[in-house]
Amino acid sequence: MPYRAPVAEFTFLLRHVVGFDRVSAQPAYAEATDETVAALLSEAGRICDEVLAPLNRQGDLHPARLENGVVRTSPGYAAGYRAMADAGMTAIAADPAYGGLGLPQTVAACINDMAGGACLALEMNPLMTQGQIEALSHHGSDAIKALYLPKLISGAWCGTMNLTEPQAGSDVGALATKAVARGDGTYAVTGQKIYISWGDTDFAANVVHLVLARLPDAPGGSKGISLFLVPKLIPDETGAPGVANSLKVVSLEHKLGLHGSPTCVMQYDGATGWLIGEENRGLAAMFTMMNNARLGVALHGVSIAEAATQAAAAYAAGRKQGQPLVGGTGMIVDHADVRRMLMEMRAETFAARALAFDLAVSIDLGHAGDAVQAARAAVLTPIAKSYGTEMGIKVANMGIQVHGGMGFIEDTGVAQFARDVRVAAIYEGTNGIQAMDLVGRKMADGGAAIHALIDAMESEAMGDPMGAPVAAMAGQLRVATDAMVGMELNDRFGGAVPYLMGFARVLGAIYHLRAAQSGAARRMALARFYIDRLLPEAAGLFAQAGHGAKGLYDLSAEDLCA
């Protein structure tokens, strides 16, 4: 069965689960009326179903390739990208002063979700550009904004983010790329960046790179990093792409998945760049882009979970094998174990999507000036990124299982889901690093913002007829949080991942409770499933987290790696 954008599910979540009406009530988002959002989602859904989804397999079978230094994209990708850009899908949240629609991030999240489900490798491209637009909007000079934003927002030009170097992956502070002031307002940028998504394309007139580099007298580590805008073609005095800059794509990586997304090794040889933001404050500016991208990557997990669930459900409804003991279809969908898998896939996909949209709502309210919501968004970001991507991986794997042997055969396309989504747990900060952020920086206030979230969840659950086990688990989360706050940092890091996943389980249960309040039998059944079978995992996860780093060093590094 081909992918279908779940537009009705988005509308349900916005109305009944994440309280999008609080966003559309803000004067800044007055344009985001129910009618406008419904019309946008419906048209974007059509493009996803009809234009993007058929490209997904094309990208997998015919990866992007490097030809005489230029990236040639997979068949049909140029037309798919143009369809997205023409429909405004690439810059939903961008500033109308520069041609954007000025709609909330929550609406952009819905569009990115469906575009990722249709063709993740292609959706990566506008996701990078969206992050760049946001970084330039906040940190670019008026001249840079006037020149670059209209082109990026219209989709005429694309944007990339260049952090990673061979010796500087998770530790961005170790980067060695240099930038030297030329005295004319520009800088000469020299160095090599690796793993750069969409480092080049044949469907945009220009590619604009945001590059982290170090000035000659910069302090060491992450305090000495500056951000530079380095275009592939230097705009001439009319703003049109002019002479080629001193940069090139050296090679493309051969990857497990996401074959349609060119992952480039980039070489900068004294390339002309412009400083974005202040000297040595580049990481702060880049974080604007990375936080946006973290929500986007959470949605990579969600979107693949959706696509995998749709494919598995369709297969299970039509595959006859054995005689189920109950149920009337005679198909594998009525085997109890297949039901367990499909219920789990649906329940996890729902919870991960609700968490991502909830984060988007808090980001929007934070942008509108609500400091409490901004603090809430900061806490939710690492949880949404990790849980969303882990669920994408898990659900894609379950989708293979539902298909039996056919899941392992590439023709069904479900193996591609598992290959494509695997990297989402790695890029935009590995999930381990996300969990460390949650128990480190996000607990720097002594756990105050997290406590506020737990209190709200507990009282919400206590007021719900199905909520008693959820309230009890929120209480266990509070105990686990207090234990974390009291630990040495390395103990926190040792327990960070199970703590984060347990936290996500409680959040997921809250979203299911809200959905069940709609009274729809389907929503209530999924909520019961999640609360009875998945929420209890949180107790085990909190127990693991409580051990901190204890036992992790009982083997010497030599023994462990022998």
Taking the complex as a whole, the smallest distance from the CB of residue 543 to ligand FAD amounts, in Å, to 22
163 part of the interface to ligand FAD, by CB under 6 A = yes
Question: Which residue blocks in 74-181 are alpha helix, DSSP H?
Answer: 77-86, 105-139, 142-154
169 part of the interface to ligand FAD, by CB under 6 A = yes
118 part of the interface to ligand FAD, by CB under 6 A = no
Residues annotated as part of the active site: 428
The answer to whether the beta carbons of residues 179 and 215 sit under 8 Å apart is: yes
188-217 binders of ligand FAD (CB under 6 A): 195-197
Give the per-residue contact string, 407-426, with ligand FAD (x = CB under 6 A; - = no): ----------------x--x
> Which one of residues 33, 42, 170, 321 is an interface residue with ligand FAD (CB under 6 A)?
170
The answer to whether the beta carbons of residues 179 and 209 sit under 8 Å apart is: no
164 part of the interface to ligand FAD, by CB under 6 A = yes
363 part of the interface to ligand FAD, by CB under 6 A = no
Long-range contacts of 279-284 (CB under 8 A, 24+ apart): 279/215, 279/218, 279/226, 280/215, 280/218, 280/219, 280/223, 280/224, 280/225, 280/226, 281/226, 281/227, 282/212, 282/213, 282/225, 282/226, 282/227, 282/228, 283/172, 283/173, 283/212, 283/222, 283/225, 283/227
510-549 binders of ligand FAD (CB under 6 A): none
* Nearest to ligand FAD of 427, 529 (CB atom): 427
Q: In angstroms, how far is the first alpha carbon of the chain from the final one? A: 47
**Contact range with ligand FAD by CB under 6 A, out of 157-165, 225-233, 272-280, 524-532:** 157-165
Helix 489-516 with 431-439: angle, nearest 10 deg: 100
499 part of the interface to ligand FAD, by CB under 6 A = no
Give the per-residue contact string, 243-282, with ligand FAD (x = CB under 6 A; - = no): ------------x--x----x-------------------
**Contact range with ligand FAD by CB under 6 A, out of 131-139, 156-164, 238-246, 533-541:** 156-164
> Which one of residues 54, 432, 440, 546 is an interface residue with ligand FAD (CB under 6 A)?
432
Residue 439: Cβ-neighbour burial (10 angstroms; 0-12, 13-18, 19+): buried
Taking the complex as a whole, the smallest distance from the CB of residue 102 to ligand FAD amounts, in Å, to 26
The answer to whether the beta carbons of residues 377 and 368 sit under 8 Å apart is: no
Query: Strands, DSSP E only, in 258-349?
Result: 263-276
445-464 binders of ligand FAD (CB under 6 A): none
Residue 1: Cβ-neighbour burial (10 angstroms; 0-12, 13-18, 19+): exposed
**Contact range with ligand FAD by CB under 6 A, out of 72-80, 412-420, 427-435, 521-529:** 427-435
Give the dihedral sign, CA 473/475/479/482.
positive
161 part of the interface to ligand FAD, by CB under 6 A = yes
* Nearest to ligand FAD of 45, 257 (CB atom): 257
CB closest to ligand FAD, residue no: 169
| Per rule CB under 6 A, count of chain residues that contact ligand FAD | 19
What is the rounded CA–CA span in Å between residue 352 and residue 551?
A: 31
For ligand FAD, the binding residues (CB under 6 A) are 161-164, 169-170, 195-197, 255, 258, 263, 423, 426-427, 430, 432-433, 436
